[in-house]
């Protein structure tokens, strides 16, 4: 593998971003998660980890620190000698900044909403919505940029590749391998 490739992962909730990150880690990529950084910073400040609290806290970091606070934290955690995957990119400013980096590719991971909601129920995080209606309501807010800058529509438009995750794990990995071949990996 070459050095310094950065693959950014964005996409809808429970579409498979972590699965892609895990797969790339198995291929030797380093991994930095923006949502893990946000959760860690929230926990350090004693903030209860709920979706609403994380959204509010993320927005406050943009105001008090910078709109690029999380992505710059992630960039500080990158080993320049290895390829890296940065997951949970959700802000237009983060994408615009990362697009200025050499050998950066953005993958938008998506899947059918019903499949994603079933996955969400299986992962059972306390902050996750418990009804399909609330799940879709949250997604609508995340898509249009009205939830404090999170704009998944912009993320999807900006993606170099769209990876659908509606079928088997094998098919998903084959589609991911096709993307890696296209970027020279």
Query: What are the structural domain ranges in the chain?
Result: 6-182
Amino acid 185: pLDDT: 60
Instruction: Give residue-wise pLDDT tens across range 125-182.
Output: 877 888 999 999 888 887 876 655 578 899 999 999 999 999 999 999 999 999 999 9
- Do the beta carbons of residue 185 and residue 82 sit within 8 Å? no
Q: Which regions of the chain does DSSP assign to beta strands (E)?
A: 6-11, 30-33, 84-87, 104-110, 161-164
Give the Cα separation of 179 and 174 in Å (integer): 9
Instruction: Look at residue 68 and tell me whether its pLDDT is greater than 90.
Output: no
What pLDDT score was predicted for residue 3?
A: 47
Class for the domain spanning 6-182: alpha beta
Q: How far is CA 171 from CA 116, 154, 166, in A?
A: 17, 26, 9
pLDDT the model gives residue 139: 84
Which residues 6+ apart lie within 8 Å of 102 measured at CB? 4
Claim: this prediction has a pTM higher than 0.85: yes
Q: Please give the helix or strand (H or E) that residue 124 lies within, else none.
A: none
Which of 21-35, 104-118, 128-142, 168-182 bottoms out in mean pLDDT, i.e. has the lowest? 128-142
pLDDT for the residue 86:
94
CA-CA distance, 142 to 148, in Å (whole number)?
9
């Amino acid at each position: 593998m070459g050095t310094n490739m950065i693959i950014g992962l964005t996409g809808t909730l429970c579409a498979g971003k972590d699965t892609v990150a895990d797969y790339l880690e198995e291929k030797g990529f380093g991994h930095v998660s923006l949502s893990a950084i946000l959760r860690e910073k929230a926990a350090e400040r004693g903030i209860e980890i709920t979706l609403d609290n994380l959204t509010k806290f993320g927005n406050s970091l943009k105001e008090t620190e910078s709109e690029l606070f999380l992505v710059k934290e992630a960039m500080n955690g990158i080993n320049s000698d290895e390829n890296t995957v940065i997951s949970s990119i959700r802000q237009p400013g983060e994408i615009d900044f990362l697009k200025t980096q050499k050998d950066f590719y953005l993958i938008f991971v998506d899947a059918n909403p019903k499949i994603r909601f079933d996955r969400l129920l299986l992962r059972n995080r306390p902050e996750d919505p418990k009804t399909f209606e609330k799940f879709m309501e949250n997604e609508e807010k995340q898509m249009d940029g009205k939830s404090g800058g999170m704009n998944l529509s912009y993320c999807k438009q900006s993606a170099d590749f769209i990876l659908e995750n509606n079928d088997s794990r094998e098919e998903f990995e084959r589609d991911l391998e096709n993307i890696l071949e296209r970027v020279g990996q």
